[in-house]
Structure 1
Amino acid sequence: MSFVAMESKDLAEKIFNKEELFILDVRNEQEFGEWKIEGKNIKHLNVPYFELLDGVEEIKEQIPASKEILVVCAKEGSSVMVSEMLSDAGFEVFYLKGGMKAWSEHMEPVKVGDLNNGGELYQFVRLGKGCLSYMVISNGEAAVIDATRTVEIFTNFASEKGVTIKHALDTHLHADHISGGRAIAEKTGATYWLPPKDAEEVVFEYKALEDGEDIAIGNTTINIHALYSPGHTIGSTSFVVDEKYLMTGDILFIDSIGRPDLAGLAQDWVSDLRETLYNRYRELSEELIVLPAHFMIVEELNEDGSVAKELGTLFSENHGLNIESDEEFRKLVTENLPPQPNSYQEIRQTNMGKSNPEEEKQREMEIGPNRCAVR
């Protein structure tokens, strides 16, 4: 039989289309338990590659010959070895090119909708990490919001669309992934915006993103209203785009709410988080479409692959927005927390400009699932 490479882009398409796929993950049990490829019709078998050094005879009966088979490891090498053995045993099999490291970095652009006066809004879905970035386009200009460090994805997309990136914005100082906002600004000459309360320790120049700030994109002007919304960080800022979309950063997700502890100040910031979610957001139109900076589970994806839902719907369905007791809310967001993100302190230092790790080190720092939400 045969074995060939599957690109991350092709895997993402299968997940968006809810296709059936059987994944043999040959990483160790701990790595698999912490983070794996997820999808509606994906089945997994985890067998560490070192248990397969003598062959695949003992697992042949656990692998369905009728389904598409993908072998996955951390970097690719082990999955190639196991795929070759499965091929020799009579299976048609794929291996994930670049392994989980490549999967962690892949982003898929999804059009969210059209804006007034011919503009467009795109969401970049990072399936392997749960990150969501955005590009607002209008009249030949663009703004990128909550960009990841793989800046070529955004600059190449802008080139394809024939637009110039004029602004790069971060809703807050990220702690789970390295921001690409400053790098995009340096590469394109764009203005980099950051909430000043999150930028007290940064060592680079930036434009202060403050409450009520409007940023024009294109000749027709798309207003991105900055809405101060602390809680996940002290400077967290939401954006209302085109009076239609609410970009919530890591304050509000589709199925959860943001955690306030990644700077070690959970008890101090929990009141800010509740004030933002229960008062500031309640003053906004319930018809606004919420566009968060992360998603937790693949079930949050819509049929078109986007992650978006009306604010009014979240007020009804999101448990984090329906806790009457202050005490219960405080307990939820300070005690019911997942492990902190991998290398989050190092990532914060990098996003402040105080550290500049090599590319491979940056990849290692980001490996793992999204952990920005309260469970």
Structure 2
Amino acid sequence: MPNTDFSPAEVARRIEEDDAADLFVLDVRNEDAYEEWQIDDSTNIPIYDELLEYDYSSLEEHLDELPEDTEIAVVCVAGITSARAAAFLREHGFDAKSVDDGMNGWGRVHRQYDLDAADGVVQIVRPGTGCVSYLAHDGEEAVVVDPSQYVDRYLNAADERDLEIVGVADTHAHADHVSGARRLAGELDVPYYLHGDDAGELDNVTTLTDGETVPVGEREFEVLHTPGHTPGSVSFRFGDALLAGDTLFLRSVGRPDLEDGAEDAVREAASRLFDSLERLTDLDDGTVVLPGHFSDESGRPLATALGDLRAETTNELLSDVEDGDESAFVETIVESLADEPANYNEIKQINWGKAQPGGNVEALELGPNNCAAN
């Protein structure tokens, strides 16, 4: 039998590596779900409820809008209604396949990149959630930074490069995704690194402090305490690379309201974040900024020299830092905060060790990335 499914990873590869005209992504979820979170450049025909009832009348009305000479990847929530839609389209002469496990599967995709601009760093990107993690290595040793709950992705990345993982670190206590750092460190019996101000009620944490180093091979991470997004946020310098966590992104900075959303608390945290960003912008122009998140940037890998980031106009908040305008920085943050990440309070409780992950732990973090300040 011919294959009637696309894997989510294949869709991600095709979107990134092939010409956009080679794949048409059709999303059949309801409009509100699509507006909240979607695959970039996809097209929505909101017929989810109709497809549940095997009603294809609305899809038939839209056939003239679909490409006849391009592969169609049909996506829904979990791959059920999309499979029905894809089968209907094939019956009408279209080259259509369903995306296996739908948007649930899309949220689990991880893609990895060896960075030419940062020696010894592998960037691991989740295109569906905007999360970015790293495997930094020297010789035969590696440290994993900000891993997702899908720890096999990091074990495989290390195995592919004949590396031994000797440590696992979180740049902060995450609010948007369930960290896999403790689990990975526990399985490998290696240190789990986290700043003490973000450790909550966690046990078996090797706490980080400003200025100390974490060894990896014959090299080391330098720890920079950069509070603001969280009290214990850190950035790591690794040679010319800056693993900036959620302090500095390529187009924004980390939001400072997820610990305490009261305006006075947000202003205080934003002021700390301003100081942290001033410290980072004092680094050499050649420093390669490697963010912990991204929004709609299409280039891969996600890496920009600090000097280039300063020269660009796409990061308004960084421009305020460069101008020394703390007041404008704080006001912009207070006035432009977006919706919080989905289920962020429950995720924080898990990452702080105050709650155990339940059966819905994978679904908790699905949705748009909302960790940026604006």
**What's the TM-score once normalised by structure 1's chain length?**
0.92
Query: 1:311 aligned to 2:331?
Result: no
Offset of residue 194 of structure 1: 0.3
**Matched-pair contact (CA < 8 Å) for 1:87–1:93:** yes
- CA RMSD, aligned part only? 1.7
Write the distance in 1 (CA, Å) between the matches of 2:223 and 2:334.
27
Query: 1:238 aligned to 2:240?
Result: no
- Specify the SS of the correspondent of 1:298: coil
Query: 1:109 aligned to 2:112?
Result: yes
Paired letter, 1:253: F
Per-residue displacement from partner, 1:167-195 (whole Å, max 9, x unpaired)?
10111110000111111101111110001
Write the distance in 2 (CA, Å) between the matches of 1:2 and 1:93.
12
- Specify the SS of the correspondent of 2:350: helix
Paired letter, 2:63: K
Partner of 1:29: 31
Write the distance in 1 (CA, Å) between the matches of 2:254 and 2:91.
48
Paired letter, 1:7: S
Per-residue displacement from partner, 1:122-181 (whole Å, max 9, x unpaired)?
000100001000001222111000111100100122122222111101111100001111
Partner of 1:10: 10
Query: 1:285 aligned to 2:284?
Result: yes
Partner of 2:222: 225
Write the distance in 1 (CA, Å) between the matches of 2:138 and 2:3.
44
**Matched-pair contact (CA < 8 Å) for 2:167–2:185:** yes
Q: Which is worse superposed, 19-28 or 65-74? A: 19-28
Write the distance in 2 (CA, Å) between the matches of 1:58 and 1:330.
50
Q: Which is worse superposed, 19-28 or 246-255? A: 19-28
Query: 1:73 aligned to 2:72?
Result: no
**Matched-pair contact (CA < 8 Å) for 2:34–2:44:** no
Work out which of the residue numbers 101, 114, 117 in structure 2 matches 1:98: 101
Sequence identity percentage: 35
The 1:46/1:337 distance shift into structure 2, 3 A limit, reads: farther
Paired letter, 2:301: S
Query: 1:261 aligned to 2:264?
Result: no
Q: Show structure 2 runs of 5+ residues with no match.
A: none
Write the distance in 2 (CA, Å) between the matches of 1:294 and 1:114.
18
Paired letter, 1:71: V
Write the distance in 2 (CA, Å) between the matches of 1:226 and 1:15.
36
Paired letter, 2:55: D
**Matched-pair contact (CA < 8 Å) for 1:25–1:48:** no
**Matched-pair contact (CA < 8 Å) for 2:211–2:224:** yes
Work out which of the residue numbers 66, 84, 92 in structure 2 matches 1:63: 66
**Matched-pair contact (CA < 8 Å) for 2:209–2:223:** yes
Write the distance in 2 (CA, Å) between the matches of 1:337 and 1:18.
35
The 1:331/1:48 distance shift into structure 2, 3 A limit, reads: farther
- Specify the SS of the correspondent of 2:331: helix
**Matched-pair contact (CA < 8 Å) for 2:30–2:46:** yes
Offset of residue 114 of structure 1: 7.5
Paired letter, 1:232: H
Paired letter, 2:327: E
Query: 1:329 aligned to 2:329?
Result: yes
Write the distance in 2 (CA, Å) between the matches of 1:23 and 1:192.
40
**Matched-pair contact (CA < 8 Å) for 2:129–2:368:** yes
- Specify the SS of the correspondent of 2:26: strand
Write the distance in 1 (CA, Å) between the matches of 2:30 and 2:221.
45
Offset of residue 51 of structure 1: 3.3
The 5 A counterparts of 1:1-375 are 4-20=4-20, 21-38=23-40, 42-52=41-51, 53-55=54-56, 56-113=59-116, 120-199=120-199, 201-218=200-217, 221-242=218-239, 244-264=240-260, 265-277=265-277, 279-299=278-298, 301=299, 305-317=300-312, 318-323=315-320, 324=323, 325-359=325-359, 361-375=360-374
**What's the TM-score once normalised by structure 2's chain length?**
0.92
Offset of residue 98 of structure 1: 1.3
**Matched-pair contact (CA < 8 Å) for 2:281–2:306:** no
- Specify the SS of the correspondent of 2:219: coil
Write the distance in 2 (CA, Å) between the matches of 1:9 and 1:356.
29
* Count of residue pairs the alignment pairs up: 359
Offset of residue 69 of structure 1: 0.7
Offset of residue 18 of structure 1: 4.6
Q: Show structure 1 runs of 5+ residues with no match.
A: none
